Amino acid sequence: MESRKNRGGACRGLLLGLLLALALSLPAAAAGSDGYSDIDKMAVCNMFEQNGLQVPADPGSWTFATWSTIDGERRITELALSGRSLTGELDVSGLTALTKLDISNNAISGITGLNSLTFLDHLNLEHNQVEDLDVSGNTALTVLNAASNQLAKLNVQYNTNLEELYCDGNQLTRLNVSQNKALTTLYCQSNQLTNLDVSGCTSLTELYCQNCALTDLDLSGSNSNLQVLDCERGNNIDIDIASLNLNETSSTFVYFGNSLNASDISSDKSVLQILCQEDDEFEIESWNGQAIS
């Protein structure tokens, strides 16, 4: 087994190689003699070493990394580091070819250089200790999972390609999704939100916002694709069911507390489930002019 001292020597060797490349005015991400990007190898090596972890010397054996040939060199395009006991600040600034990054189930407190990952479309940092997250430069993101962290704010207004957002289990007091027209799935439950406006999310199919102390939930607009609305527990809101503007061919089931109140509007094209707890105060009286018993 390679000693930690030797691993440190390998990383220092990579650093010296990079400095030499710069001195010779070579491209910053020039491939090493093995064809793999020295910058990518150094970034991963530093992640592991700062946590006292072992990294194999041969990057081709890294089962946690997917390498792709880009402009004649091997670059890391996917990195799966879930449950690797990573702690502190994670520096990803050199991994500019990444499209998928999974750093979930660690003890990471922050991420450095995230905005340099302009090709990133999937980011999973669920179950960490991140307090501040800046994804303003990650405009290619389609899936963001930041659940179960310590976020007090989250700005996704620049992530207009976002389709799935999981930010549940944080400390958010405000969430603006007005620019996220492509959003189909939103999990924002177990936060400190008092109001939520999803009226502009015309592609939304699933909304989970339970246990948020909501007093205002705006479902107006063309939410004709909505299939699941879960707002059970810990909310105190009035829902205007008619404002959902569901397709006339929808088959709709309404659940309230432990008793079923169903209104079968017509055929069987889609299902909307409205899930509420008995201790919530909802006013749901009618659907498309039909009384709900």
Residue 56 lies in a domain: no
As a 3-state breakdown, the chain gives helix, strand, coil percent values, each rounded to 5, of 15, 25, 60
Range(s) of the domain holding residue 93: 67-291
**Considering the domain boundaries, does residue 186 fall inside one?**
yes
d(CA 175, CA 160): 14
Q: Which DSSP helix (H) or strand (E) runs through 65?
A: strand 65-70
| Residue-level pLDDT at 243 | 56
Total of domains in the chain: 1
Residue whose tokens read 């979930």: 104
Where residue 157 sits, what CATH number does that domain have?
3.80.10.10
In this predicted model, what pLDDT tens digit does every residue of 17-28 receive, in sequence order?
A: 544 444 333 444
Query: Residue 91: inside a domain, yes or no?
Result: yes
Backbone angles phi, psi at 12, to 5 degrees: -65, -35
Looking at every residue in the chain, the average pLDDT score rounds to 79
Backbone angles phi, psi at 42, to 5 degrees: -65, -40
Does a structural domain hold residue 231?
yes
Q: How many residues are listed for the chain in this entry?
A: 293
In a domain, 3, yes or no: no
27 domain residue, yes or no? no
Model confidence, pTM: 0.80
pLDDT tens digit sequence for 67-98: 999 999 999 999 999 999 999 999 999 999 99
Residue 169 inside a domain? The answer is yes
